[in-house]
Structure 1
Amino acid sequence: MQTEDIAGLTEPSGVACSSARRRVIAVVASLTASLTIFRLELLKRLAGAGHEVIAFAPDHDARVERALAEIGVRFIRIPMGRTGLNPLEDIRTFWSLRQHFKRLKPDMILPYTMKPIIYAGIAARTLGIKERCFLVTGLGHVFSEANGRSFKALAIRHLCIRLYRLACKRARVVFVYNDADADDIRRYRILPDDLTPTMVPGSGVDLEHFAFARAARGGPVFLMIARLLRDKGVVEYVEAAKIVRRTFPDARFQLLGHFDSNPTAISRELINKWVSEGILEYLGTTNDVRPYLAACNVFVLPSYYREGIPRSILEALAVGRPVITTDLPGCRDTVQPGVNGMTVKPFDVVALADAMASFARDPDLADKMGRCSRELAENKFDVHMINRILFAGMGLTD
């Protein structure tokens, strides 16, 4: 049976809805915390425009649920495994979304990240929901070269491509964060020929919440904020730190982030080992990264994960920190080399160490580049500017 011949998929014809009318909008996430970390201003704007907004995500998070309730957004938990391929679990996700959509009758869906896009998209199609808008924040780990080219990896990628096609067929709009994802969407023919991805520069950053903060003199203090995954470049960060400390023993290397169930997760034991050796300061997790960004001189993310545009970098730009990251899609979109930071090849520990050492040699460099980072955030990554792009693509007005 062809994937796109699944029974129940209907595409009723009809005229486009007026952009001014009140809609029921379902926003679907794979991580509850992301609804406030990445989407709070968008959800505020949707609710403020008079739409009924319902957010779906798998985790119970009292803080997030309170924040959503305060802005008039309803929250519903759904079963979903963020990582891994478990057919029974994924069927539960699809069926739960379909049942909720059938009962609540949303006019529009806006899922983001891989599993929400696939399963919310397919569920909505089976119910004839026409206004399907997708936010591709990154195609997912299975499309990363780090995932390998084994038979299993290629088979999983092929399956995901077919599911993406099924979900996105006749979508209203598909937003992407970077050219590489747009190119892959075209290369794998995820969208029909008559639909072109709409570029949006990441999730954006609230420039008032993440205000500019001049870095303290001395140091240097390097900070990496990320999920504790090998793909994020944690090991390379630590190995480069060892090199830098040989010449600059006062340099400090901090790591902030939570442990993860991803297949490439860093173990707690390894983190503890690095801390006990005096290489790394592990800062744990937090709901507010601003004090840590304000206390560092340079932000580092040597990721080779298949990023969209890393939110952590956007926050560092807004606070006014120079950025060292990899010359890869998503990451490199946040850096003008030599102006507000530096890019290095992925896996290149020596180049990463050299980049960090340049800030240790010249204490004024971080201040100079940090001011350029803030300017870049203001000119390109303001969340309100980005939300205007999203509203226009979804055919909505305030």
Structure 2
Amino acid sequence: MKLVEQHSLSARGAVQEAPRMHILILASYAPSLLNFRGPLIRDMLAAKHRVSVGAPDISTELRRQLVELGAEVHDTPMERNGTGMLADLRYCKGLRRLIGSVRPDVVLTYTIKPNIWGAFAAHSVGVASVAMVTGLGYAFTDTGVAPSPTQRVTGLIARRLYRAATSRNRRVLFQNPDDKADFIRAGCLADPSKVGMINGSGVDTEHYARQPLPSDPVVLMIARLLGNKGVRDYAEAALRLRKSHPQARFQLVGPFDGGPDAIAEGEVAAWTAQGLEYLGAAEDVRPHIAQARIYVLPSYREGTPRSVLEAMAMGRPVVTTNAPGCRETVEDGVNGRLVPVRDPSALTEAIAYLLDHPAEAEAMGEAGFQLVARKYDVRQVNRAIMELMGLPPAPPHTATFMP
């Protein structure tokens, strides 16, 4: 992936001039710095800001791409799925050293561990921080199963740490009103005046360009293989529909996960033996979306589901759940269908309806494309993020990401 420069000020030009402000962006998953924050980094650099990024396990290729984009890259070792306090304290200590060394004007964090420990580390060296709550995660999601004692204790600790961390943040940004309300209700934010609302992470409508709806009845889901993404519900619906709609194909794209809610490889093997097509993880999901006629995400909770926005930008009708984050992206009957959470029967019916009514599916794809252009275009979202951070915005430009 490379940046095509179509504006007057290049990333290198921005670095050569005196930067307005220095921003350090901290992530828990290194590829997200490019896949989710690449356009934001681009727009910050276009506005003549200096941008540093930090994440664990940054590959050589990803480092090269981030440097080519114009960012300064730092490793921040972290145990992503661990709950051990000693490991988290080591992570915080490392962040404190980094922030003290590079001396940014503001630290921008997202996902729970950078949000919590990044706030503590920045505050300890006198640097302002802004947290983006891109989803409340497993501890806040109703999975339909009573939490174990360990999960209850972990959730309690997370809420208390979040409350302490947000007391040190300058701003706390949310992607949907349900997350904001539940976060405050759980006691994670004592000062609601710090809240800022954004329309997800946005989607680059040039990179995820609109494609004609194919005639072949291909149904697609893209997600990490977690129970709370609704993967099991999708598999059950797909295997039912294989019998009633034998001409249809049902595809699943996404990596296995090591978290407590992970789907086992054996489960996926059993589904594929019955006709579900598991295509593995994908660095570029556009070819998969392009050949799909219907996009499905039966998640139990999201911040704003990026894959849904990508599918809508490419003109696909969407079936998703009436859950926080998901319901923000679909108006039932207009650009897709909303179904109850953990309801494979309703999911089956909604997918079957779109398979059986291709003209309506096409109209819904058009409506979704229009919604993304109006509300979720990444350039609009980036301007909102920068304004909430107190940064001067980027000038108008047409830079885009190309494979």
TM-score, structure 1 length as denominator?
0.91
Equivalent residue, structure 1, for 2:85: 87
What code does the residue aligned with 1:234 have?
V
301, 310, 315: which one pairs with 2:310? 315
What code does the residue aligned with 1:363 have?
P
- Aligned to 2:220, the other structure's residue is in SS state strand
Question: How far apart are the structure 1 equivalents of 2:283 and 2:192?
Answer: 42
Alignment of 1:337 onto 2:329: no
- Aligned to 1:145, the other structure's residue is in SS state coil
Alignment of 1:396 onto 2:391: yes
Equivalent residue, structure 2, for 1:215: 213
Once the two structures are TM-superposed, the CA of residue 21 in structure 1 deviates from its matched residue by 6.7
Question: How far apart are the structure 1 equivalents of 2:291 and 2:174?
Answer: 32
Q: Which deviates the most, 264-273 or 105-114?
A: 264-273
Once the two structures are TM-superposed, the CA of residue 60 in structure 1 deviates from its matched residue by 2.3
Equivalent residue, structure 2, for 1:12: none
Once the two structures are TM-superposed, the CA of residue 180 in structure 1 deviates from its matched residue by 1.1
Equivalent residue, structure 1, for 2:365: 370
Question: Unpaired segments of 5 or more residues in structure 2?
Answer: 1-17, 395-403
Q: Which deviates the most, 290-299 or 266-275?
A: 266-275
Q: Which deviates the most, 60-69 or 256-265?
A: 60-69
Equivalent residue, structure 1, for 2:294: 298
- Aligned to 2:74, the other structure's residue is in SS state strand
Question: How far apart are the structure 1 equivalents of 2:196 and 2:310?
Answer: 23
Contact 2:119 2:168 in 1 (8 A): no
1:282-297 residue pairs with structure 2 within 5 A?
282-297=278-293
Once the two structures are TM-superposed, the CA of residue 42 in structure 1 deviates from its matched residue by 0.4
Relative to structure 1, is the Cα distance of residues 216 and 21 closer, same or farther in structure 2, using a 3 angstrom cutoff? closer
Equivalent residue, structure 2, for 1:26: 24
Equivalent residue, structure 1, for 2:204: 206
Alignment of 1:243 onto 2:240: yes
Once the two structures are TM-superposed, the CA of residue 365 in structure 1 deviates from its matched residue by 2.2
- Aligned to 1:180, the other structure's residue is in SS state helix
What code does the residue aligned with 2:224 have?
R
Question: How far apart are the structure 1 equivalents of 2:58 and 2:103?
Answer: 24
What code does the residue aligned with 1:324 have?
V
Contact 1:214 1:367 in 2 (8 A): no
What code does the residue aligned with 1:299 have?
Y
- Aligned to 2:53, the other structure's residue is in SS state strand
What code does the residue aligned with 2:195 have?
P
Q: Which deviates the most, 48-57 or 346-355?
A: 48-57
- Aligned to 1:333, the other structure's residue is in SS state coil
Equivalent residue, structure 1, for 2:42: 44
Equivalent residue, structure 2, for 1:104: 102
231, 234, 240: which one pairs with 2:231? 234
Q: Which deviates the most, 170-179 or 190-199?
A: 190-199
Question: How far apart are the structure 2 equivalents of 1:166 and 1:266?
Answer: 33
Q: Which deviates the most, 375-384 or 101-110?
A: 101-110
Contact 2:167 2:191 in 1 (8 A): no
Once the two structures are TM-superposed, the CA of residue 395 in structure 1 deviates from its matched residue by 0.7
Contact 1:220 1:359 in 2 (8 A): no
TM-score, structure 2 length as denominator?
0.90
Once the two structures are TM-superposed, the CA of residue 45 in structure 1 deviates from its matched residue by 1.2
Question: Unpaired segments of 5 or more residues in structure 1?
Answer: 1-19
- Aligned to 2:250, the other structure's residue is in SS state strand
- Aligned to 1:266, the other structure's residue is in SS state coil
Question: How far apart are the structure 2 equivalents of 1:275 and 1:192?
Answer: 48
Paired-residue identity, %: 43
Question: How far apart are the structure 2 equivalents of 1:260 and 1:156?
Answer: 19
Question: How far apart are the structure 1 equivalents of 2:115 and 2:345?
Answer: 38
Contact 2:239 2:274 in 1 (8 A): no
Once the two structures are TM-superposed, the CA of residue 246 in structure 1 deviates from its matched residue by 2.0
* 1:284-342 residue CA offsets vs partner (Å, 9 max, x unmatched): 122111111010000001111x3101111110010010110110000111101000001
Relative to structure 1, is the Cα distance of residues 194 and 181 closer, same or farther in structure 2, using a 3 angstrom cutoff? closer
Query: Over the residues paired in the alignment, what is the CA RMSD in angstroms?
Result: 1.5
Once the two structures are TM-superposed, the CA of residue 215 in structure 1 deviates from its matched residue by 1.3
Equivalent residue, structure 2, for 1:271: 268
Once the two structures are TM-superposed, the CA of residue 116 in structure 1 deviates from its matched residue by 0.4
Question: How far apart are the structure 2 equivalents of 1:82 and 1:222?
Answer: 31
- Aligned to 1:195, the other structure's residue is in SS state helix
Aligned residues: 375
Equivalent residue, structure 2, for 1:385: 380
Alignment of 1:225 onto 2:222: yes
- Aligned to 2:239, the other structure's residue is in SS state helix
Question: How far apart are the structure 2 equivalents of 1:269 and 1:233?
Answer: 17
What code does the residue aligned with 1:317 have?
M
Once the two structures are TM-superposed, the CA of residue 61 in structure 1 deviates from its matched residue by 2.1
Equivalent residue, structure 2, for 1:6: none
Contact 1:220 1:363 in 2 (8 A): no
Contact 1:170 1:192 in 2 (8 A): no
Once the two structures are TM-superposed, the CA of residue 242 in structure 1 deviates from its matched residue by 1.9
- Aligned to 1:45, the other structure's residue is in SS state helix
Once the two structures are TM-superposed, the CA of residue 50 in structure 1 deviates from its matched residue by 2.0
Alignment of 1:252 onto 2:249: yes
